[in-house]
Protein backbone atom coordinates (compact mmCIF):
# COMPACT_ATOMS: atom_id res chain seq x y z
CA UNK A 1 0.00 0.00 0.00
CA UNK A 2 1.07 3.56 -0.63
CA UNK A 3 2.31 5.26 2.54
CA UNK A 4 -0.05 8.05 3.52
CA UNK A 5 1.81 11.26 4.19
CA UNK A 6 0.89 12.66 7.57
CA UNK A 7 -0.06 16.13 6.48
CA UNK A 8 -0.70 19.32 8.36
CA UNK A 9 -4.27 19.28 9.72
CA UNK A 10 -6.44 21.44 7.48
CA UNK A 11 -9.09 22.38 10.03
CA UNK A 12 -9.39 22.95 13.77
CA UNK A 13 -11.46 19.75 14.01
CA UNK A 14 -8.79 17.74 12.16
CA UNK A 15 -6.15 19.15 14.51
CA UNK A 16 -8.27 18.10 17.52
CA UNK A 17 -8.61 14.56 16.16
CA UNK A 18 -4.89 14.37 15.46
CA UNK A 19 -4.07 15.62 18.98
CA UNK A 20 -6.00 12.67 20.46
CA UNK A 21 -3.15 10.44 19.21
CA UNK A 22 -0.34 12.77 20.30
CA UNK A 23 2.92 11.18 21.44
CA UNK A 24 5.13 14.26 21.08
CA UNK A 25 6.22 13.95 24.72
CA UNK A 26 5.86 11.31 27.42
CA UNK A 27 2.88 12.84 29.26
CA UNK A 28 0.52 10.82 27.01
CA UNK A 29 1.74 7.66 28.73
CA UNK A 30 0.14 8.52 32.07
CA UNK A 31 -2.66 10.99 31.31
CA UNK A 32 -6.20 9.68 30.66
CA UNK A 33 -6.74 11.63 27.46
CA UNK A 34 -5.85 14.72 25.45
CA UNK A 35 -7.74 17.80 26.62
CA UNK A 36 -8.23 19.98 23.54
CA UNK A 37 -9.50 23.56 23.60
CA UNK A 38 -13.18 24.44 23.43
CA UNK A 39 -15.42 27.39 22.64
CA UNK A 40 -15.96 29.49 19.54
CA UNK A 41 -13.80 28.37 16.60
CA UNK A 42 -13.31 31.97 15.39
CA UNK A 43 -13.18 33.66 18.79
CA UNK A 44 -11.64 37.14 19.00
CA UNK A 45 -10.16 36.25 22.39
CA UNK A 46 -8.20 33.09 23.26
CA UNK A 47 -7.39 32.11 26.84
CA UNK A 48 -4.45 29.82 27.47
CA UNK A 49 -3.93 28.02 30.79
CA UNK A 50 -1.12 25.70 31.84
CA UNK A 51 -2.42 22.15 31.52
CA UNK A 52 -5.48 20.09 32.41
CA UNK A 53 -5.81 19.20 36.08
CA UNK A 54 -7.24 16.10 37.70
CA UNK A 55 -10.88 16.96 36.86
CA UNK A 56 -10.08 18.07 33.31
CA UNK A 57 -8.07 14.90 32.65
CA UNK A 58 -11.00 12.70 33.64
CA UNK A 59 -13.69 14.73 31.86
CA UNK A 60 -11.70 15.66 28.76
CA UNK A 61 -12.66 19.35 29.03
CA UNK A 62 -10.59 22.40 30.02
CA UNK A 63 -11.22 24.54 33.11
CA UNK A 64 -13.85 22.54 34.97
CA UNK A 65 -11.95 21.94 38.25
CA UNK A 66 -11.50 24.42 41.14
CA UNK A 67 -9.24 26.81 39.19
CA UNK A 68 -11.55 26.56 36.20
CA UNK A 69 -14.58 27.45 38.29
CA UNK A 70 -12.78 30.52 39.66
CA UNK A 71 -11.87 31.49 36.08
CA UNK A 72 -15.44 30.97 34.82
CA UNK A 73 -16.82 33.04 37.69
CA UNK A 74 -14.33 35.84 36.90
CA UNK A 75 -15.22 35.67 33.20
CA UNK A 76 -18.89 36.01 34.08
CA UNK A 77 -18.15 39.08 36.23
CA UNK A 78 -16.20 40.59 33.33
CA UNK A 79 -19.17 40.04 31.01
CA UNK A 80 -17.39 37.36 28.96
CA UNK A 81 -19.26 34.17 28.04
CA UNK A 82 -17.04 31.06 27.68
CA UNK A 83 -18.92 30.18 24.47
CA UNK A 84 -17.67 33.34 22.77
CA UNK A 85 -14.01 32.56 23.62
CA UNK A 86 -11.49 29.85 22.78
CA UNK A 87 -10.34 28.22 26.06
CA UNK A 88 -7.27 26.04 25.93
CA UNK A 89 -4.03 25.06 27.63
CA UNK A 90 -0.32 25.27 26.82
CA UNK A 91 0.02 21.54 27.53
CA UNK A 92 -2.78 19.16 26.63
CA UNK A 93 -2.02 16.19 28.86
CA UNK A 94 -2.22 16.18 32.67
CA UNK A 95 1.15 15.91 34.43
CA UNK A 96 1.01 14.51 37.96
CA UNK A 97 2.65 12.34 40.57
CA UNK A 98 0.56 9.68 42.32
CA UNK A 99 0.23 10.22 46.10
CA UNK A 100 -1.90 7.45 47.54
CA UNK A 101 -5.29 7.81 45.88
CA UNK A 102 -4.53 11.39 44.84
CA UNK A 103 -2.85 12.70 41.73
CA UNK A 104 -0.76 15.78 42.52
CA UNK A 105 -0.36 18.38 39.77
CA UNK A 106 3.20 18.91 38.53
CA UNK A 107 4.38 21.95 36.60
CA UNK A 108 5.26 20.95 33.03
CA UNK A 109 8.89 21.31 31.94
CA UNK A 110 9.95 23.65 29.17
CA UNK A 111 10.55 20.67 26.86
CA UNK A 112 6.97 19.46 27.35
CA UNK A 113 5.64 22.97 26.74
CA UNK A 114 7.82 23.25 23.62
CA UNK A 115 6.59 19.87 22.29
CA UNK A 116 2.96 20.92 22.81
CA UNK A 117 3.48 24.30 21.05
CA UNK A 118 2.74 22.41 17.85
CA UNK A 119 -0.91 22.14 18.91
CA UNK A 120 -1.13 25.63 20.38
CA UNK A 121 0.27 26.98 17.12
CA UNK A 122 -2.44 25.17 15.15
CA UNK A 123 -5.15 26.54 17.46
CA UNK A 124 -3.77 30.07 16.99
CA UNK A 125 -3.56 29.59 13.22
CA UNK A 126 -7.14 28.34 12.87
CA UNK A 127 -8.90 30.49 15.50
CA UNK A 128 -6.90 33.63 14.62
CA UNK A 129 -7.79 35.52 17.82
CA UNK A 130 -7.30 39.28 17.95
CA UNK A 131 -5.87 38.91 21.46
CA UNK A 132 -4.57 35.98 23.50
CA UNK A 133 -4.60 35.98 27.31
CA UNK A 134 -1.80 34.00 28.95
CA UNK A 135 -2.87 32.64 32.34
CA UNK A 136 0.32 32.17 34.34
CA UNK A 137 3.99 31.50 33.62
CA UNK A 138 3.66 28.27 31.61
CA UNK A 139 1.18 29.85 29.19
CA UNK A 140 3.27 33.02 28.98
CA UNK A 141 6.35 30.92 28.13
CA UNK A 142 4.44 28.82 25.60
CA UNK A 143 3.10 31.91 23.84
CA UNK A 144 6.11 34.24 23.98
CA UNK A 145 9.18 32.03 24.56
CA UNK A 146 10.02 34.20 27.59
CA UNK A 147 10.29 32.09 30.75
CA UNK A 148 10.94 34.98 33.14
CA UNK A 149 8.59 35.36 36.14
CA UNK A 150 5.26 36.97 35.37
CA UNK A 151 5.06 39.09 38.53
CA UNK A 152 6.84 41.89 36.62
CA UNK A 153 4.95 41.20 33.36
CA UNK A 154 1.30 40.84 34.37
CA UNK A 155 -1.07 43.40 32.96
CA UNK A 156 1.29 44.00 30.04
CA UNK A 157 0.91 43.11 26.37
CA UNK A 158 3.76 41.24 24.67
CA UNK A 159 4.21 39.98 21.13
CA UNK A 160 3.65 36.24 20.84
CA UNK A 161 5.76 33.82 18.82
CA UNK A 162 2.81 33.70 16.39
CA UNK A 163 3.11 37.46 15.87
CA UNK A 164 -0.06 38.49 17.69
CA UNK A 165 -0.56 40.36 20.98
CA UNK A 166 -0.48 38.43 24.26
CA UNK A 167 -1.81 39.90 27.50
CA UNK A 168 -0.17 38.41 30.58
CA UNK A 169 -2.13 37.64 33.74
CA UNK A 170 -2.18 35.35 36.79
CA UNK A 171 -3.20 31.75 36.64
CA UNK A 172 -6.40 31.23 38.69
CA UNK A 173 -4.76 28.30 40.54
CA UNK A 174 -2.03 30.71 41.69
CA UNK A 175 -4.72 32.81 43.38
CA UNK A 176 -6.13 29.76 45.14
CA UNK A 177 -2.67 28.94 46.52
CA UNK A 178 -1.98 32.40 48.04
CA UNK A 179 -2.09 31.97 51.84
CA UNK A 180 -2.81 35.63 52.71
CA UNK A 181 -6.42 36.74 52.09
CA UNK A 182 -5.24 40.29 51.30
CA UNK A 183 -2.79 38.99 48.68
CA UNK A 184 -5.52 36.80 47.25
CA UNK A 185 -7.98 39.69 47.05
CA UNK A 186 -5.39 41.88 45.29
CA UNK A 187 -4.48 39.19 42.75
CA UNK A 188 -8.15 38.47 42.10
CA UNK A 189 -8.73 42.18 41.44
CA UNK A 190 -5.80 42.18 39.00
CA UNK A 191 -7.11 39.10 37.19
CA UNK A 192 -10.52 40.79 37.00
CA UNK A 193 -8.97 43.98 35.58
CA UNK A 194 -7.02 41.95 33.00
CA UNK A 195 -10.18 40.10 31.91
CA UNK A 196 -11.97 43.43 31.47
CA UNK A 197 -9.05 44.73 29.38
CA UNK A 198 -9.02 41.51 27.35
CA UNK A 199 -12.73 41.98 26.62
CA UNK A 200 -12.16 45.59 25.55
CA UNK A 201 -9.09 44.88 23.39
CA UNK A 202 -10.43 41.84 21.53
N1 LIG B 1 -7.64 23.63 34.38
C2 LIG B 1 -7.24 23.77 33.11
O3 LIG B 1 -7.86 23.29 32.19
N4 LIG B 1 -6.13 24.47 32.87
C5 LIG B 1 -5.41 25.02 33.82
O6 LIG B 1 -4.42 25.65 33.51
C7 LIG B 1 -5.85 24.85 35.16
C8 LIG B 1 -6.96 24.16 35.41
pLDDT tens per residue across all 202 residues of the chain = 565 556 799 999 999 999 999 999 999 999 999 999 999 999 999 999 999 999 999 999 999 999 999 999 999 999 999 999 999 999 999 999 999 999 999 999 999 999 999 999 999 999 999 999 999 999 999 999 999 999 999 999 999 999 999 999 999 999 999 999 999 999 999 999 999 999 999 9
Tell me, in angstroms, the distance from the centre of ligand 1 to residue 86's CA: 13
- Decide: 131 and 167 in contact? Cβ < 8 Å: yes
Radius of gyration of the chain (CA): 16
Separation of alpha carbons 35 and 146, rounded Å: 24
173 C-beta closer than 6 A to ligand 1: yes
9 domain residue, yes or no? no
Q: How many structural domains is the chain composed of?
A: 1
Structural domain boundaries, residue 157? 29-201
Tally of CB atoms within 10 A around 102: 10
93 domain residue, yes or no? yes
According to the model, what pLDDT value does residue 4 have?
Answer: 57
Separation of alpha carbons 89 and 113, rounded Å: 10
24 domain residue, yes or no? no
Ligand 1 pocket, mutate which of 53, 75, 103 (most atoms under 8 A from CB): 53
The helix (H) or strand (E) run that includes residue 140 is helix 136-144
According to the model, what pLDDT value does residue 2 have?
Answer: 60
108 C-beta closer than 6 A to ligand 1: no
According to the model, what pLDDT value does residue 143 have?
Answer: 99
- CATH at 93: 3.40.470.10
Separation of alpha carbons 87 and 162, rounded Å: 17
Separation of alpha carbons 52 and 91, rounded Å: 7
Region of 166 on the Ramachandran plot (φ > 0 left; ψ -120 to 50 alpha; else beta):
beta
According to the model, what pLDDT value does residue 1 have?
Answer: 59
Tally of CB atoms within 10 A around 183: 11
According to the model, what pLDDT value does residue 7 have?
Answer: 78
12 domain residue, yes or no? no
182 domain residue, yes or no? yes
Which atom of ligand 1 is nearest the CA belonging to 62? 3
This complex has an ipTM of: 0.91
183 domain residue, yes or no? yes
Tell me, in angstroms, the distance from the centre of ligand 1 to residue 49's CA: 5
52 C-beta closer than 6 A to ligand 1: yes
Residue 99 backbone phi and psi in degrees, to 5: -135, 95
23 domain residue, yes or no? no
40 domain residue, yes or no? yes
87 C-beta closer than 6 A to ligand 1: no
Which atom of ligand 1 is nearest the CA belonging to 136? 6
Give, in order, the Cα–Cα distances in Å from 87 to each of 45, 129, 148, 164.
Answer: 9, 11, 23, 17
Amino acid sequence: AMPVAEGLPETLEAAARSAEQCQRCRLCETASQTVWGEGKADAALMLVGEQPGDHEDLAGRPFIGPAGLLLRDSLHQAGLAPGQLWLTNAVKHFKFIPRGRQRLHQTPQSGEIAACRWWLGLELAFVRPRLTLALGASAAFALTGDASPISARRGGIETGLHGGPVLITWHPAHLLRLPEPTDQAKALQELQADLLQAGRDS
